Structure 1
Amino acid sequence: MSIFAQRSVFIRSFLKLASVNVLSNLMVPLAGLIDVMFLGHLTEIRHLAGVAIATILFNYIYWTFGFLRMGTTGMVAQAIGRKDNQSAVLISLQHGILALILGLAILIFQKPLQVLGFAILSATPEVKTSGVDFYNALIWGAPATLINFVLIGWFLGQTQSSKVLLLSAISNCANVLLDYLFIVQWGWSSRGAGLATATSQYLMLIVGTLLYCQTISFKQIQASIGEVFNLSALKSVFMLNGEIIIRTFALISTMAMFSNLSSMLGTEILATNTLLMQLVSLAAYFIDGLAFATESLAGIFQGSGNITSLKQLLLSFCSQ
């Protein structure tokens, strides 16, 4: 097979994986746009503005721990590349335990986080009241959200993006349906939006856990259980993903400054810019679908020592 033919086969394989990732990713901002639509049609726009400022706080709370997804994907992919399924299971369990601990810690400290966060954010008292209602409902989904990061990372690391697509469909469809029920039918406004999202995260967790259990055996869990609570291993997870945390924190801070400055210009401008940010998210999630495919394949090639394919992955599109 010629080099051109090999490259064509490689690109087709990459795009097949990436297309599923892109589709599953796009469901997230599309669901967000529908959330905005429901809240935007309420008689009082303060509910949409309140959700917008509370989302700034949740972006800090959740995406600071985005390494749970990215780190799991990379480390699992490398283990799969080495054909070391036992290590892959251990990595998923360690990250899962860490996600649970962090999620419970968020619940324990939810009140100080709320007070500090809304003290920093700029908004009218009415907007902040709606934001607090949203916060108080959504915060209970913290453990499920962080564990879902790990589940998504696990499936992406094994290039099982179809399962990620299924989980995204379940979570976001449930979110939209519950938004309609809680916001439109029951009139719970911003509190209903938060409760809908939290509930959909737990539904995603239940289905994701069932799918995860189908991919491993009890013997693998039994063999890994002694290493799961290894404190030095958990510490290494933080050390390994330190750069990811810094990068994510900087990105979130930039977006937070935009939203916070918008709120200082008035409730209507904040609501308008919230819609614009949803469109920006649509583009970002599209690009992330390609990035997820690259992460999965790069980890597998690195783990298997296939440097030729790794270079091809990095250079294929640049050399067209």
Structure 2
Amino acid sequence: MFFKFSQFDRNTLRIALPLIISNITIPLVGLVDNIMMGHLGSTIFIGAIGLGSIIISYILFSFGFIKSITTGLVSQNAGSRDYQNLFLTICHILLISSFISLTILYFRFYIIDFSLGLMNSSIEVKQNSKIYLEYRIWSIPAIFLRDILIGYYIGTQRTKIAMSISIIVNLLNIILDYYFIYILNFSIEGVAIASLISEYSIIFFILYALMFEKTYKNINLDYKNILNWKSIKNKIIINIDMFIRSFILMTCFAYFMRTGASYGNIILAANTILLNFFFIFSHGVDGFAHASEVLVGDSMGKKNKELLHESISSTGKFSIYLTILFIIFFSLFGVPLLNVITDVGAILLSAQKYLIWLYLIFFSACIAFWLDGVFIGAMKTKLLRNVMILSGSVFFILEIFIFEHNNHNLWAAFLVFFTLRSMLLGYLLSFNLKRNRFI
């Protein structure tokens, strides 16, 4: 029954709750950034953080598959007890992510200038965003390493360790934010430096894992296995599917921010704050998406159809529960939170005006977030790619060619985008389960 909790449900919560807690700390860092910038008395700082964050997120989310693919492949190998292949997988993902991060850093000036050139914002906002990005982009290699390490711990169902890593890194970021801005009187560069230092603290966690992780010590991997092109190529193909999916998703977010910026600094600042609320929700629900990756991947590794169905049912049920809680929370505390974030009256009024769209998107997006995890755990990445291409195309057609250009219609197009993703993925799940195409 929908409200009856089985032993399997309790295991789902054991895996998911630490991930929900750790995931929510990620957008909380962005929220703290907004709070600190919001009380400096200028819309420019909030807008600059918003643009800078969306550009850096564009890069990171485009390659966000690194953690998801690590989780999915590790969980399948852990389910089949194939630890040799598990660590070979990690080596291959390390090689792929190292190449990506070095390429990004080499072309960093072109990436920053090109990205800011696409944004329809004021010169002052762009100048401050550039300062932020020139520091922040150097954290990308550390973030990729963190994603691989956390993906490994999630895939082996040790989510409390993954939670501890995320919480410590993000709390350090918040503390350093306060130190640089209020103690050292830095401006926007203080936010970027705080993020940079906190992200590289992951090195200490990697050293800890190398010292105390026991499962890999009896495994012998030679260079021929690690540099086996056929094996690497298979993972690159999976990663390309996920890259396309993530790239389109972030293109939609970037277009949303760019279009909002064209409506003025007030709308840009309001949309930035509301998107931070959205990211708190999405990262929270992603806790059950990650649990789906682990449990579905484990059932695939064990080739256990009953376990697969239980995994899908349990994580889906809890995703809906959590979405309802988020809607209730933001309905009660959304406006008070806006007053905490900024004391600029025009931004407050604008954000309150568009708050209703957030609740509608929460409801429409939760199924898509949950099913992302199910399809990643099953390594059905082509389906995720195809759904994203179709949904993203509809978003752009509506926003560019059909809807009248204003901020309400921008949010409406966003709502259609998430609703369509949820409907298509729900249909594909039912279609594939009925035809036994998972196991």
Same fold (TM over 0.5): yes
Residue 128 (structure 1) aligned with residue 122 (structure 2): no
Q: Answer whether contact 1:89 1:216 (CA < 8 A) is retained.
A: no
Indicate the residue corresponding to 1:46 in structure 2.
Answer: 44
Give the length in aligned residue pairs.
317
Indicate the residue corresponding to 1:235 in structure 2.
Answer: 233
Amino acid in structure 2 at the alignment position of 1:41: H
Separation in structure 2 between the aligned mates of residue 83 and residue 136 of structure 1, nearest angstrom: 43
Q: Answer whether contact 2:289 2:315 (CA < 8 A) is retained.
A: no
**Deviation of the 1:216 alpha carbon:** 4.2
**Deviation of the 1:221 alpha carbon:** 6.2
Indicate the residue corresponding to 1:10 in structure 2.
Answer: 8
Indicate the residue corresponding to 1:210 in structure 2.
Answer: 208
Amino acid in structure 2 at the alignment position of 1:81: G
Q: Answer whether contact 2:118 2:258 (CA < 8 A) is retained.
A: no
Q: Deviations over 1:208-259 (max 9, x none)?
A: 4422552246745642544223333332212023332222122212211211
Q: Answer whether contact 1:171 1:203 (CA < 8 A) is retained.
A: yes
Indicate the residue corresponding to 1:197 in structure 2.
Answer: 195
Separation in structure 2 between the aligned mates of residue 319 and residue 196 of structure 1, nearest angstrom: 38
Q: 1:319 to 1:161 in 2, by over 3 A?
A: closer
Indicate the residue corresponding to 2:66 in structure 1.
Answer: 68
Q: 1:306 to 1:209 in 2, by over 3 A?
A: farther
Residue 28 (structure 1) aligned with residue 26 (structure 2): yes
Secondary structure of 1:79's aligned partner: helix
Indicate the residue corresponding to 2:244 in structure 1.
Answer: 246
Q: Answer whether contact 1:32 1:278 (CA < 8 A) is retained.
A: yes
5+ residue gaps, structure 2: 319-439
Q: 1:308 to 1:52 in 2, by over 3 A?
A: same
- Identify which range, 217-226 or 199-208, moves more after superposition: 217-226
Separation in structure 2 between the aligned mates of residue 63 and residue 319 of structure 1, nearest angstrom: 26
Indicate the residue corresponding to 2:301 in structure 1.
Answer: 303
Q: 1:317 to 1:235 in 2, by over 3 A?
A: closer
Q: 1:108 to 1:220 in 2, by over 3 A?
A: farther
Separation in structure 2 between the aligned mates of residue 78 and residue 283 of structure 1, nearest angstrom: 28
Q: 1:177 to 1:302 in 2, by over 3 A?
A: same
Separation in structure 2 between the aligned mates of residue 69 and residue 55 of structure 1, nearest angstrom: 19
Secondary structure of 2:201's aligned partner: helix
Q: Deviations over 1:62-120 (max 9, x none)?
A: 11111111111010101001111111111112112222221122111101111211111
Residue pairs, 1:73-92, within 5 angstroms: 73-92=71-90
Separation in structure 1 between the aligned mates of residue 306 and residue 5 of structure 2, nearest angstrom: 12
Q: 1:244 to 1:21 in 2, by over 3 A?
A: same
Residue pairs, 1:107-118, within 5 angstroms: 107-118=105-116
Q: Answer whether contact 1:79 1:303 (CA < 8 A) is retained.
A: yes
Separation in structure 1 between the aligned mates of residue 79 and residue 9 of structure 2, nearest angstrom: 19
Amino acid in structure 2 at the alignment position of 1:104: L
Separation in structure 1 between the aligned mates of residue 91 and residue 51 of structure 2, nearest angstrom: 34
Secondary structure of 2:6's aligned partner: helix
- Following TM superposition, where does structure 1 have runs of at least 4 consecutive aligned residues deviating by more than 3 angstroms? 216-222, 315-320
**Deviation of the 1:159 alpha carbon:** 0.7
The two structures, once aligned, show a CA RMSD in angstroms of: 2.2
Q: 1:155 to 1:225 in 2, by over 3 A?
A: farther
Amino acid in structure 1 at the alignment position of 2:146: N
Separation in structure 1 between the aligned mates of residue 196 and residue 292 of structure 2, nearest angstrom: 30
Indicate the residue corresponding to 2:166 in structure 1.
Answer: 168
Separation in structure 2 between the aligned mates of residue 143 and residue 171 of structure 1, nearest angstrom: 15
Q: 1:83 to 1:176 in 2, by over 3 A?
A: same
Q: Deviations over 1:191-212 (max 9, x none)?
A: 1111111111110242144225
Separation in structure 1 between the aligned mates of residue 51 and residue 232 of structure 2, nearest angstrom: 33
Q: Answer whether contact 2:292 2:311 (CA < 8 A) is retained.
A: yes
Separation in structure 2 between the aligned mates of residue 78 and residue 251 of structure 1, nearest angstrom: 26
Residue pairs, 1:284-295, within 5 angstroms: 284-295=282-293
